[in-house]
Amino acid sequence: MKWKEQILSLKAYQPGRTTDQVKKAYGLTDVVKLASNENPFGSSEKVKECIREYADSFAIYPDGYTTGLRTELASFLNVSEKQLIFGNGSDEIIMMLSRAMLEPGKNTVMPTPSFPQYRHNAVVEGAEVREVELVNGAHNLDKMADSIDENTAIVWLCSPNNPTGIHITDVQLRGFLDRVPEEVLVVLDEAYFEYVTADDYYNALEIIKEYKNVLVLRTFSKVYGLAAFRVGYGFADESLITQLEPVREPFNVNSLGQKAAAAGLSDQAFIDQCRTANKEGLEQFYAFCRENGLDYYPSEANFILIDFKCDSNELFEYLMSKGYIVRSGAALGIPGTVRVTVGSKEQNEGVMSAMKSFLAETVKR
Ligand SMILES: *Cc1c(COP(=O)(O)O)cnc(C)c1O
């Protein structure tokens, strides 16, 4: 077979264990998944109502222009409909951008550790990957700007960054963008945007007006609680979107997803509640870390990376045996830590109590 050379060394995405698998393996009746930054409160009631009503026309292809959702979202964001692109999750837009711009001879600059799909798609396209280490969980924007040359096609920024939760400030972002040549695309991945409360955060809608080479990614998978439907979107100056559109598959956003996302968007009260509950949850974790002398990264997202300075796979296995699935920092490139999705108050108390017994048991040994 004539595979691209670089595919041969790539590994397929390793899904974590499902709650059912963990229940079986450890004989547990209750398992809480705090591993994928899903919304512990589910989704808006409006979504459930709208999906119940939509139990026919399954023989019909989706609306290939995502018209209804497009109109709603354009008015919500106050952008033109032509400034939007939709994907089967923002994952798919990362793939479209990589496909449209990356190839052997080009390079792409990204932070590390960060969202793995930037690197993965660049490797598939045969582009050179330039990874710039985080400093204290934050982007090293100076070094990222220094890494750009005439062959750089895309720079990826993730704010707040997954897996550290650290955001980029308005001053930092503008300082960086002023250094990026206008023919280099900057992708600003804001998968956790709706959770942000920091005062020094930038306004992405202003940014795309001032910098025509910036494309912002957001998703309905996280705070909207609609990960099952796979709907993400990008917004940018119209000229960028127009050039990217031909790379998109004709029916990439499924019909139910289009309906569900529009219903979710219409219930901003739900989003506000989730943001508030998340903030309270983060405070629970901060207090826990202080009490137990643990370092952590202050987070603007719905997860927290805690430094246990231990074998993070061991802690990961231990928590799983107690019914809590988290992400091991070893798997994320920050050994000694675990990343925990902020759950409901009770879920947070539960996982913290399991963490406490782990600490007590490891001290005894
Ligand atoms: C979850 C996540 C995504 C992917 O979201 P989908 O829209 O579900 O594909 C993208 N970027 C980051 C940083 C994420 O954490």
Q: Is 310 in the pocket of ligand 1 (CB under 6 A)?
A: no
Q: Hey, what domains does the chain have and what are their CATH numbers? A: 5-30+269-364 (3.90.1150.10), 45-266 (3.40.640.10)
pLDDT tens digits for 15-34? 878 999 999 999 999 999 99
Q: Is 121 in the pocket of ligand 1 (CB under 6 A)?
A: no
Residue 365: the pLDDT is 61
Within 8 A by CB and 6+ apart from 351, the residues are 32, 34, 319, 324, 326, 340, 343
**Averaged pLDDT for residues 250-268:** 97
Lowest-confidence pick of 46-50, 101-105, 187-191, 283-287: 46-50
Q: Is 89 in the pocket of ligand 1 (CB under 6 A)?
A: yes
- Output the CA 10–ligand 1 centroid distance in Å: 20
Q: What percent of the chain has pLDDT over 90?
A: 93
Q: Looking at this protein, which amino acid is placed at residue 81?
A: E
- Output the CA 232–ligand 1 centroid distance in Å: 8
Q: What percent of the chain has pLDDT over 70?
A: 99
**Averaged pLDDT for residues 218-237:** 98
Ligand 1 atom nearest 92 alpha carbon: 9
Ligand 1 atom nearest 220 alpha carbon: 7
**Averaged pLDDT for residues 61-85:** 97
Q: Is 191 in the pocket of ligand 1 (CB under 6 A)?
A: yes
Q: Is 227 in the pocket of ligand 1 (CB under 6 A)?
A: yes
Residue 16: the pLDDT is 79
pLDDT tens digits for 336-348? 999 999 999 999 9
Query: With bands split at pLDDT 50, 70 and 90, how would you rate the model's confidence at 364?
Result: low
Query: With bands split at pLDDT 50, 70 and 90, how would you rate the model's confidence at 14?
Result: confident
Q: Looking at this protein, which amino acid is placed at residue 29?
A: T
Within 8 A by CB and 6+ apart from 1, the residues are none
Residue 55 has pLDDT above 80, yes or no: no
What is the three-class DSSP state of 246? Answer: helix
What is the three-class DSSP state of 274? Answer: helix
